[in-house]
């Protein structure tokens, strides 16, 4: 039962919610800046902080539970592709004739370009980035922008919590009394500090990936990816410039036919 519970992601999500609200409770129960504002009757900061925390939890569940861009069927793949398989094969230069849609060796569906099978989800995901164990879901074409937004809000909440927890630390005449009075706050400080560093690193990485229109999978495994093996180490066939990349990443909704962009780039270099 516990194994099924963890596999379904319930345990991970429950731990996330418990840690989030326990840390928030500790900040309001001790003499932190948030508690001092509340006692003075100035509710702006406490309400704003609670709203940011709540928003981070809502975004967490949004990213965790939404469809990351699963490939549903062969007909779904063909319906969202600009060209048929035969047209694609004819348009790709002969030097790269092996770059064609192939069937997944696990689920046997036709994989569009930039899709990859996730062994954890047991599904093929469009524009696959990575499988995140903390959200127990893949990050792909449909939820990557929401994942980045979640990281932004989460970092704001963690940074604020880090400052608030440190503001509540009080001095005591002995080390034993100091640890007794500040034990929970120190725990909250350590927890928010660790997660702040992790989230900041992830945030910087994914902003960079979005700015150059690549994914974690493509960045780490380009030497094994068929449509990238022939490219130079600095070349990215999907890169349209930082501004266009970020605009497409943040504002374009729906499925993208990456074959079309790839063919344009390849033909332009031939």
Separation CA 20–CA 24 (nearest Å): 6
Establish whether 104 is a catalytic residue. Answer: no
Q: How open is the CA angle 85-144-211, to the nearest 5 degrees?
A: 90
How far is CA 136 from its chain centroid?
11
Compute CA distances 179 → 19, 167, 172, 175, 227, whole Å.
Answer: 21, 15, 9, 6, 57
* Catalytic residue from among 104, 132, 138, 244: 132
Dist. CA 254–CA 169, nearest whole Å: 48
User: What does the alpha-carbon distance between residue 258 and residue 114 come to, in Å, rounded to a whole number?
Assistant: 7
Beta bridge partners of 118: 123
Let me know if 159 is exposed, middle or buried by CB neighbors in 10 A (0-12, 13-18, 19+).
middle
Q: What are the tokens at 266?
A: 């390849």
Locus of tokens 């937004």: 149
> What would the two tokens of residue 230 be?
């022939």
Task: Yes or no: say if 211 and 83 are a contact pair by the CB < 8 Å rule.
Answer: no
- Looking at residue 140, the DSSP 8-state letter turns out to be -
The structure tokens 């990816």 sit at 225
Distance CA 258, CA 111 (A): 12
Just list the catalytic residues. 132
């Amino acid at each position: 039962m516990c194994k099924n519970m963890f596999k379904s992601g319930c345990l991970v999500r429950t731990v996330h919610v418990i840690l989030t609200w326990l840390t928030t409770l500790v900040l309001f129960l001790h003499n932190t800046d948030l508690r001092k504002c509340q006692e003075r009757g100035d509710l702006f900061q406490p309400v704003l902080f609670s709203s940011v925390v709540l928003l981070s939890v809502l975004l967490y569940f949004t990213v965790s539970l939404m469809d990351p861009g699963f490939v549903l069927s062969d007909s779904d793949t063909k319906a969202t592709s600009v060209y048929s398989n035969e047209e694609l094969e004819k348009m790709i230069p002969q030097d790269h004739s092996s770059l064609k849609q192939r069937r997944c060796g696990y689920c046997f569906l036709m994989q569009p370009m930039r899709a990859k099978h996730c062994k954890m989800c047991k599904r093929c995901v469009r524009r696959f980035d990575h499988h995140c164990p903390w959200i127990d879901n893949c990050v792909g074409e449909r939820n990557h922008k929401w994942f980045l937004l979640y990281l932004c809000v989460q970092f704001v909440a963690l940074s604020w919590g880090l400052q608030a927890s440190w503001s509540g630390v009080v001095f005591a005449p002995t080390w034993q009394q100091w640890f007794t009075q500040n034990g929970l706050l120190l725990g909250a400080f350590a927890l928010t500090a660790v997660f702040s560093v992790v989230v900041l690193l992830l945030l910087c990485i994914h902003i960079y990936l979005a700015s150059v229109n690549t994914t974690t999978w493509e960045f780490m495994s380009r030497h094994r990816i068929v449509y990238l093996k022939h490219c130079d180490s600095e070349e990215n066939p999907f890169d349209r410039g930082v501004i266009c990349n970020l605009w497409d990443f943040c504002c374009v909704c729906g499925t993208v036919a990456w074959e079309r962009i790839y063919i344009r780039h390849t033909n332009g270099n031939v």
